[in-house]
Structure 1
């Protein structure tokens, strides 16, 4: 018997399948995937259309399916982020341990190669063709050659493991980078506005074309989108607080069109640029060419007014 379950923390999981039982084609067609990690569906609301479509396809193919267990309860963004940080810390620790093992293996492989080289005749003595030592000499050369290959491979494995461990160590910092946080706030805000527009959107009628949605239709949509909006608003509040804290501690700048003016200078990615135009969400800056570049306010690292530039 197959079972499909969903929780916000664990994601959507199907259990009971077996290799060669015929379920693979059905699950693949419905965009399910296999893997040790379920990070792609964890911390998300259930996709009811995918779950019900998959269940119907499995039952139509003759599979026995247990009643669906869909928990629509969501965790707060605080809990979700704490879980992500904890999982990433565990991943970093595991990758660090793996890098240490690979480095130890690399050292051992190199020492083995040195030991094999030490068994070769001194001074690069050539192989004596037909001599009783010929076979032993050739085997010693092959052994040294093979151990060198294994040593090189082990060294490359150790370097790759160290690179992955180093990258993983910076993942959480990158996720909380001030510019990334500001961009995430913009995206979540756009998602909220898009969802709100869907609630009040006009309805298409084949005979009369588009017409305003009725109050009943809007109420039905509002109920359907309520869990998604609640989740998005909770995420927005969380990341806005993160950004406020970053600005308060000086990790992030809080520039806006109220603090930047045309003719001022702004520092972006370590370089100063003159402000050509101030927009609602971006600043247009002069370049060495005939065009201007646009940067978001979150990308501005420092600022000088036109008066300060003149005095300097």
Structure 2
């Protein structure tokens, strides 16, 4: 008995598989992956999302055709954006801690490898004495050279491994900060707003009839669309509310600026990326600035870190 499960927090998993039972090839073909940390097969990017019914149905059908008995336990409920984000931050913190511990282990291994090489090098004749061909010391000398060469290679590889893990740990430590950067948050708010408007428009959109072409959607069809899209709209609006609150806090504590076409006018100067530019045009979402060349450059208001009024 195989059971495909889904929750918003854990994502889509399958229970009941075992090594060599024939499920691996089927799951791989349907784009499942094996998670070593959870010792289970899972659907990538299914955590914090509603169940992907086409993928689940396709997988269940393939397993059933192969002779397995498959059931599903799918939880359609979703957590709030605040809960989702708290979970992501906690998981990232755990990942950083695990990588930092791995850095310590890899660095210790690199130090030990270097010490072994130094010990091997110390056994070589002093002064770089060449191998005496035909002498009784030749085999011992060659073995010592081989050991020193091998331990040097192991030391270099161990040092490379330690540096690579350190790089990954450093990148991981900045992930949450990057996700909550001022520009990223502002861009996310704009995207969520656009997604909501697109979803709302889809309710009222014309209906395409295969023979008559596009025609106005009936009220019955609009109502059906509204019901179908309601869960997604609720989720998007909750996400928008969360990220708007994050941006409001960033503005309140001075982390983010809050410029707009109401505060910036042509002729003003703005600071972007450490440089000052003269504003040529204030648009709805961006400003066009003078680059000193024959073209202007546009930049979102969120990237502006300082502002000087014209003549100020």
Q: For the superposition of Structure 1 and Structure 2, which TM-score range results when normalised by the shorter chain?
A: over 0.9
Aligned to 2:6: 6
Q: Which runs of 5+ in 1 are unaligned?
A: none
For the pair 1:46 / 2:51, whether they are aligned, the reply is yes
1:243–1:98: structure 2 CA closer, same or farther, 3 Å change rule?
same
Deviations 1:177-227 (A, max 9, x none): 000000111111111111111112111112222111122111111111111
Tell me the residue number matched to 1:33.
33
Report the Cα distance in structure 2 between the residues aligned to 1:93 and 1:206, rounded to whole angstroms.
57
Structure 1 residue ranges, 4+ long, deviating more than 6 angstroms after superposition: none
Determine which of 195, 199, 204 is the counterpart of 2:199.
195
- In the alignment, what sits opposite 1:220? 224
**Relative to structure 2, which stretch is displaced further, 251-260 or 14-23?**
14-23
What is the match of residue 169 of structure 1?
A: 173
Partner of 2:111: 107
Q: Say whether the 8 Å CA contact 1:266–1:273 is kept in structure 2.
A: yes
Separation of aligned partners in 1, 2:206 and 2:276? 48
The Cα RMSD (Å) is 1.7
**SS at structure 2 position matched to 1:157:** helix
Deviates more, 1:8-17 or 1:35-44: 35-44
SS at match of 1:97: helix
> Deviations 1:45-79 (Å, cap 9, x if unpaired)?
1122332333234334433112x211111101111
The CA deviation at 1:117 is 0.9
Matched, 1:65 2:66: no
TM-score (norm 2): 0.93
Residue 121, structure 1, aligned to residue 116, structure 2 = no
The verdict on how the C-alpha distance between 1:120 and 1:264 changes in structure 2, with shifts beyond 3 A counting, is same
Give the drift of 1:3.
1.4
Q: Which residue of 2 aligns with 1:91?
A: 95
2:235 to 231, 235, 255: 231
CA 1:24–1:137 in structure 2 vs 1: closer, same or farther (change >3 Å)?
Answer: closer
Structure 2 unpaired stretches of 5+: none
| 1:147-158 → structure 2 map (5 Å cutoff) | 147-158=151-162
Question: TM-score scaled by structure 1?
Answer: 0.93
Return the offset for 1:21: 4.9
Instruction: Report the CA distance between 1:25 and its aligned residue.
Output: 5.3
Change (3 A) 1:217 1:111: same
Contact 1:45 1:228 in 2 (8 A): no
